[in-house]
Protein backbone atom coordinates (compact mmCIF):
# COMPACT_ATOMS: atom_id res chain seq x y z
CA UNK A 1 0.00 0.00 0.00
CA UNK A 2 1.32 3.43 -0.94
CA UNK A 3 1.09 5.97 1.87
CA UNK A 4 -0.81 9.11 1.00
CA UNK A 5 -1.53 11.48 3.86
CA UNK A 6 -4.23 13.19 1.80
CA UNK A 7 -6.44 10.09 1.63
CA UNK A 8 -5.44 8.69 5.01
CA UNK A 9 -8.40 8.93 7.36
CA UNK A 10 -10.89 9.45 4.55
CA UNK A 11 -13.90 7.14 4.27
CA UNK A 12 -15.14 6.18 0.82
CA UNK A 13 -18.28 4.43 -0.36
CA UNK A 14 -18.04 2.85 -3.80
CA UNK A 15 -21.23 1.37 -5.24
CA UNK A 16 -21.22 -1.64 -7.53
CA UNK A 17 -17.66 -2.18 -6.37
CA UNK A 18 -17.28 -5.95 -6.40
CA UNK A 19 -16.26 -6.10 -10.06
CA UNK A 20 -14.98 -4.14 -13.03
CA UNK A 21 -14.14 -0.44 -13.01
CA UNK A 22 -15.59 0.21 -9.56
CA UNK A 23 -13.56 -2.63 -8.03
CA UNK A 24 -10.41 -1.13 -9.49
CA UNK A 25 -11.28 2.31 -8.09
CA UNK A 26 -12.08 0.82 -4.67
CA UNK A 27 -8.71 -0.91 -4.60
CA UNK A 28 -7.00 2.27 -5.77
CA UNK A 29 -8.57 4.25 -2.92
CA UNK A 30 -7.56 1.61 -0.38
CA UNK A 31 -4.02 1.56 -1.78
CA UNK A 32 -3.62 5.26 -1.01
CA UNK A 33 -4.96 4.99 2.52
CA UNK A 34 -8.74 5.48 2.41
CA UNK A 35 -11.15 3.25 4.32
CA UNK A 36 -13.41 1.79 1.67
CA UNK A 37 -16.97 0.44 1.84
CA UNK A 38 -17.55 -1.90 -1.09
CA UNK A 39 -21.26 -1.89 -1.87
CA UNK A 40 -22.42 -4.82 -3.97
CA UNK A 41 -25.42 -6.92 -4.94
CA UNK A 42 -24.96 -10.63 -4.28
CA UNK A 43 -27.87 -11.32 -6.64
CA UNK A 44 -26.23 -9.41 -9.49
CA UNK A 45 -22.84 -11.02 -8.88
CA UNK A 46 -24.34 -14.51 -8.80
CA UNK A 47 -26.29 -13.85 -12.00
CA UNK A 48 -23.06 -12.78 -13.70
CA UNK A 49 -21.22 -15.87 -12.47
CA UNK A 50 -19.06 -13.95 -9.98
CA UNK A 51 -20.44 -15.02 -6.63
CA UNK A 52 -18.09 -14.04 -3.80
CA UNK A 53 -16.36 -11.29 -5.80
CA UNK A 54 -16.84 -8.66 -3.08
CA UNK A 55 -15.38 -10.84 -0.36
CA UNK A 56 -12.44 -11.72 -2.61
CA UNK A 57 -11.76 -8.03 -3.24
CA UNK A 58 -11.85 -7.24 0.48
CA UNK A 59 -9.41 -10.08 1.12
CA UNK A 60 -7.07 -8.77 -1.57
CA UNK A 61 -7.18 -5.23 -0.17
CA UNK A 62 -6.65 -6.43 3.38
CA UNK A 63 -3.71 -8.62 2.35
CA UNK A 64 -2.10 -5.56 0.76
CA UNK A 65 -2.45 -3.63 4.02
CA UNK A 66 -5.58 -1.67 3.17
CA UNK A 67 -8.88 -1.25 5.00
CA UNK A 68 -12.09 -2.34 3.28
CA UNK A 69 -15.42 -3.89 4.13
CA UNK A 70 -18.10 -5.38 1.89
CA UNK A 71 -21.70 -4.27 2.37
CA UNK A 72 -24.41 -6.19 0.55
CA UNK A 73 -27.06 -3.86 -0.83
CA UNK A 74 -29.40 -4.27 -3.77
CA UNK A 75 -29.95 -0.68 -4.83
CA UNK A 76 -32.70 -1.74 -7.19
CA UNK A 77 -34.84 -1.73 -4.04
CA UNK A 78 -36.43 1.70 -3.46
CA UNK A 79 -35.27 2.21 0.17
CA UNK A 80 -31.81 0.70 -0.23
CA UNK A 81 -29.82 3.96 -0.33
CA UNK A 82 -30.80 5.06 3.17
CA UNK A 83 -30.00 1.62 4.61
CA UNK A 84 -26.64 1.57 2.82
CA UNK A 85 -25.58 4.96 4.19
CA UNK A 86 -26.62 3.98 7.72
CA UNK A 87 -24.68 0.71 7.59
CA UNK A 88 -21.58 2.40 6.18
CA UNK A 89 -21.65 4.92 9.01
CA UNK A 90 -21.98 2.16 11.61
CA UNK A 91 -19.10 0.14 10.16
CA UNK A 92 -16.61 2.75 8.94
CA UNK A 93 -17.84 6.16 10.07
CA UNK A 94 -19.25 9.09 8.13
CA UNK A 95 -18.72 8.98 4.37
CA UNK A 96 -16.76 11.90 2.89
CA UNK A 97 -15.86 10.31 -0.47
CA UNK A 98 -18.50 8.83 -2.76
CA UNK A 99 -18.16 6.93 -6.03
CA UNK A 100 -21.46 6.18 -7.77
CA UNK A 101 -20.70 3.34 -10.16
CA UNK A 102 -23.45 0.74 -9.79
CA UNK A 103 -25.60 0.64 -12.90
CA UNK A 104 -28.09 -1.51 -14.76
CA UNK A 105 -27.52 -1.98 -18.46
CA UNK A 106 -30.02 -3.65 -20.78
CA UNK A 107 -28.71 -4.34 -24.27
CA UNK A 108 -31.84 -4.10 -26.41
CA UNK A 109 -32.94 -1.69 -29.10
CA UNK A 110 -35.48 0.88 -27.98
CA UNK A 111 -38.55 -0.96 -29.33
CA UNK A 112 -37.69 -4.12 -27.38
CA UNK A 113 -37.10 -2.50 -23.99
CA UNK A 114 -39.84 -3.75 -21.66
CA UNK A 115 -41.45 -1.78 -18.85
CA UNK A 116 -39.42 -3.86 -16.40
CA UNK A 117 -36.16 -3.18 -18.29
CA UNK A 118 -36.83 0.55 -18.22
CA UNK A 119 -37.94 0.62 -14.58
CA UNK A 120 -34.83 -1.23 -13.39
CA UNK A 121 -32.48 1.09 -15.27
CA UNK A 122 -34.23 4.20 -13.98
CA UNK A 123 -34.17 2.92 -10.39
CA UNK A 124 -30.54 1.79 -10.31
CA UNK A 125 -29.00 4.46 -12.55
CA UNK A 126 -31.04 7.49 -11.43
CA UNK A 127 -33.26 7.08 -8.37
CA UNK A 128 -30.74 5.22 -6.20
CA UNK A 129 -28.01 7.74 -7.00
CA UNK A 130 -30.30 10.67 -6.25
CA UNK A 131 -31.19 9.10 -2.90
CA UNK A 132 -27.52 8.56 -2.00
CA UNK A 133 -26.68 12.14 -2.91
CA UNK A 134 -29.57 13.47 -0.85
CA UNK A 135 -28.45 11.36 2.09
CA UNK A 136 -24.78 12.40 1.98
CA UNK A 137 -24.54 15.90 0.51
CA UNK A 138 -25.98 17.89 3.44
CA UNK A 139 -23.35 16.59 5.86
CA UNK A 140 -20.54 17.14 3.34
CA UNK A 141 -21.66 20.74 2.91
CA UNK A 142 -21.92 21.24 6.66
CA UNK A 143 -18.43 19.76 7.15
CA UNK A 144 -17.08 21.83 4.25
CA UNK A 145 -15.56 18.75 2.66
CA UNK A 146 -16.69 16.14 0.17
CA UNK A 147 -15.51 14.38 -2.97
CA UNK A 148 -18.09 12.80 -5.28
CA UNK A 149 -17.52 10.98 -8.54
CA UNK A 150 -20.10 9.45 -10.85
CA UNK A 151 -19.10 6.81 -13.37
CA UNK A 152 -20.91 7.72 -16.52
CA UNK A 153 -20.41 6.54 -20.08
CA UNK A 154 -19.26 7.85 -23.41
CA UNK A 155 -22.85 7.13 -24.41
CA UNK A 156 -23.82 10.36 -22.66
CA UNK A 157 -22.75 12.11 -25.85
CA UNK A 158 -22.43 9.21 -28.31
CA UNK A 159 -25.43 6.97 -27.59
CA UNK A 160 -25.57 3.53 -29.14
CA UNK A 161 -28.75 1.98 -30.54
CA UNK A 162 -28.51 -1.12 -28.36
CA UNK A 163 -28.54 0.73 -25.01
CA UNK A 164 -30.93 3.70 -25.40
CA UNK A 165 -32.31 3.82 -21.84
CA UNK A 166 -28.89 3.28 -20.27
CA UNK A 167 -27.45 6.11 -22.39
CA UNK A 168 -30.34 8.39 -21.40
CA UNK A 169 -29.79 7.75 -17.68
CA UNK A 170 -26.08 8.44 -17.92
CA UNK A 171 -26.73 11.75 -19.68
CA UNK A 172 -29.23 12.69 -16.97
CA UNK A 173 -26.74 11.88 -14.21
CA UNK A 174 -24.10 14.04 -15.86
CA UNK A 175 -26.60 16.91 -15.94
CA UNK A 176 -27.20 16.46 -12.21
CA UNK A 177 -23.45 16.45 -11.51
CA UNK A 178 -23.09 19.81 -13.25
CA UNK A 179 -26.08 21.26 -11.41
CA UNK A 180 -24.93 20.13 -7.96
CA UNK A 181 -21.31 21.11 -8.59
CA UNK A 182 -22.38 24.72 -9.02
CA UNK A 183 -24.40 24.62 -5.79
CA UNK A 184 -21.66 22.96 -3.72
CA UNK A 185 -18.44 24.54 -5.04
CA UNK A 186 -18.22 27.08 -2.20
CA UNK A 187 -18.51 24.25 0.34
CA UNK A 188 -15.35 22.45 -0.85
CA UNK A 189 -17.49 19.63 -2.20
CA UNK A 190 -16.06 18.64 -5.57
CA UNK A 191 -18.50 16.73 -7.79
CA UNK A 192 -17.30 15.26 -11.06
CA UNK A 193 -18.02 12.60 -13.68
CA UNK A 194 -15.84 10.13 -15.56
CA UNK A 195 -17.24 8.79 -18.82
CA UNK A 196 -15.50 5.60 -19.93
CA UNK A 197 -15.73 4.22 -23.41
CA UNK A 198 -15.00 0.58 -24.16
CA UNK A 199 -13.22 -0.82 -21.10
CA UNK A 200 -12.52 -4.55 -21.01
CA UNK A 201 -14.43 -5.95 -18.01
CA UNK A 202 -16.62 -8.96 -17.27
CA UNK A 203 -19.63 -6.88 -18.33
CA UNK A 204 -18.60 -7.14 -21.97
CA UNK A 205 -17.18 -10.68 -21.71
CA UNK A 206 -20.05 -11.97 -23.87
CA UNK A 207 -18.58 -10.05 -26.80
CA UNK A 208 -15.29 -11.95 -26.50
CA UNK A 209 -16.81 -15.39 -27.11
CA UNK A 210 -15.80 -14.95 -30.76
CA UNK A 211 -12.36 -13.35 -30.75
CA UNK A 212 -12.53 -12.33 -34.40
CA UNK A 213 -15.79 -10.49 -33.80
CA UNK A 214 -14.36 -8.95 -30.61
CA UNK A 215 -11.31 -7.63 -32.45
CA UNK A 216 -13.52 -6.10 -35.12
CA UNK A 217 -15.73 -4.55 -32.45
CA UNK A 218 -12.69 -3.12 -30.66
CA UNK A 219 -11.25 -1.64 -33.85
CA UNK A 220 -14.49 0.20 -34.56
CA UNK A 221 -15.18 1.31 -30.96
CA UNK A 222 -12.88 4.34 -30.93
CA UNK A 223 -10.09 6.06 -32.89
CA UNK A 224 -7.51 4.40 -30.62
CA UNK A 225 -8.65 1.06 -32.00
CA UNK A 226 -8.42 -0.82 -28.71
CA UNK A 227 -10.23 -1.43 -25.46
CA UNK A 228 -9.16 0.37 -22.31
CA UNK A 229 -8.43 -1.26 -18.97
CA UNK A 230 -9.93 -0.46 -15.54
CA UNK A 231 -6.58 1.02 -14.51
CA UNK A 232 -7.06 3.69 -17.18
CA UNK A 233 -10.07 4.93 -15.21
CA UNK A 234 -8.46 4.68 -11.76
CA UNK A 235 -5.81 7.32 -12.41
CA UNK A 236 -8.20 10.20 -13.23
CA UNK A 237 -10.60 8.97 -10.53
CA UNK A 238 -7.96 9.34 -7.83
CA UNK A 239 -7.12 12.82 -9.07
CA UNK A 240 -10.74 13.97 -8.92
CA UNK A 241 -11.33 12.34 -5.52
CA UNK A 242 -8.12 13.60 -3.91
CA UNK A 243 -8.39 16.04 -0.99
CA UNK A 244 -5.83 18.14 -2.89
CA UNK A 245 -8.37 18.65 -5.68
CA UNK A 246 -9.97 21.87 -4.52
CA UNK A 247 -10.88 23.50 -7.82
CA UNK A 248 -11.84 20.89 -10.43
CA UNK A 249 -15.57 20.35 -10.14
CA UNK A 250 -18.55 19.97 -12.46
CA UNK A 251 -16.40 18.38 -15.12
CA UNK A 252 -16.47 15.18 -17.15
CA UNK A 253 -13.29 13.34 -18.04
CA UNK A 254 -13.65 10.99 -20.99
CA UNK A 255 -11.60 7.80 -20.81
CA UNK A 256 -12.70 6.61 -24.21
CA UNK A 257 -9.91 6.68 -26.79
CA UNK A 258 -11.56 9.77 -28.38
CA UNK A 259 -14.84 7.93 -28.96
CA UNK A 260 -16.67 10.98 -27.58
CA UNK A 261 -15.52 13.14 -30.48
CA UNK A 262 -17.99 13.30 -33.37
CA UNK A 263 -16.41 11.76 -36.45
CA UNK A 264 -17.38 11.58 -40.09
CA UNK A 265 -17.22 8.22 -41.87
CA UNK A 266 -13.97 9.26 -43.56
CA UNK A 267 -12.43 10.16 -40.21
CA UNK A 268 -13.38 6.73 -38.85
CA UNK A 269 -11.88 5.03 -41.89
CA UNK A 270 -8.62 6.93 -41.52
CA UNK A 271 -8.44 6.01 -37.85
CA UNK A 272 -8.79 2.35 -38.78
CA UNK A 273 -6.23 2.71 -41.63
CA UNK A 274 -3.78 5.55 -40.91
CA UNK A 275 -2.02 5.07 -44.26
CA UNK A 276 -5.17 5.79 -46.25
CA UNK A 277 -4.91 9.19 -47.96
CA UNK A 278 -7.64 11.74 -47.41
CA UNK A 279 -9.23 13.90 -50.06
CA UNK A 280 -10.28 17.43 -49.10
As a whole number, mean pLDDT of residues 148-155 equals 97
Strand partners, 253: 194
> How many folded domains does the chain comprise?
1
The tally of CA atoms less than 13 A away on the side-chain side of residue 275 is 0
pLDDT at 271 over 60: no
Q: Do 76 and 120 contact (CB within 8 A), yes or no? A: yes
Helix (H, G, I), strand (E, B) or coil at 71: strand
In this predicted model, what pLDDT tens digit does every residue of 46-91 receive, in sequence order? 988 899 999 999 999 999 999 999 999 999 888 899 999 999 999 9
Q: Which domain holds residue 44?
A: 11-205+228-263
Q: What is the pLDDT of residues 43-55, one digit of tens each?
A: 999 988 899 999 9
For 5, which DSSP code?
Answer: T
Q: Are strands 67-72 and 35-40 parallel, antiparallel or unpaired?
A: parallel
The model carries a pTM of 0.90
Indicate if the pLDDT at residue 262 is higher than 80. Answer: no
Q: What pLDDT digit, counting tens, does each position of 217-260 carry?
A: 888 888 988 888 999 999 999 999 999 999 999 999 999 999 99
Residue 161 forms part of a structural domain = yes
Q: Which residues contact 90 (CB under 8 A, 6 or more apart)?
A: none
Q: 111 lies in a domain?
A: yes
Q: Return all residues near 131 (Cβ < 8 A) that are at least 6 apart.
A: 80, 81, 82
CATH of the domain at 21: 3.40.50.720
Residue 142 lies in a domain: yes
Amino acid sequence: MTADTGFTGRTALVTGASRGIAAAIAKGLADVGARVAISYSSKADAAAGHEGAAEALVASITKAGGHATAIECDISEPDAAERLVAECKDVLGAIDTLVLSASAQVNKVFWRQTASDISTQLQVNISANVALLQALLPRMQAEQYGRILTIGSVQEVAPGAEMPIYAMTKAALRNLVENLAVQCARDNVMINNIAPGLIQTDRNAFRRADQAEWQEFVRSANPAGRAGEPADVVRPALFLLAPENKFTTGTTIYVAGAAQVARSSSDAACAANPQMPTVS
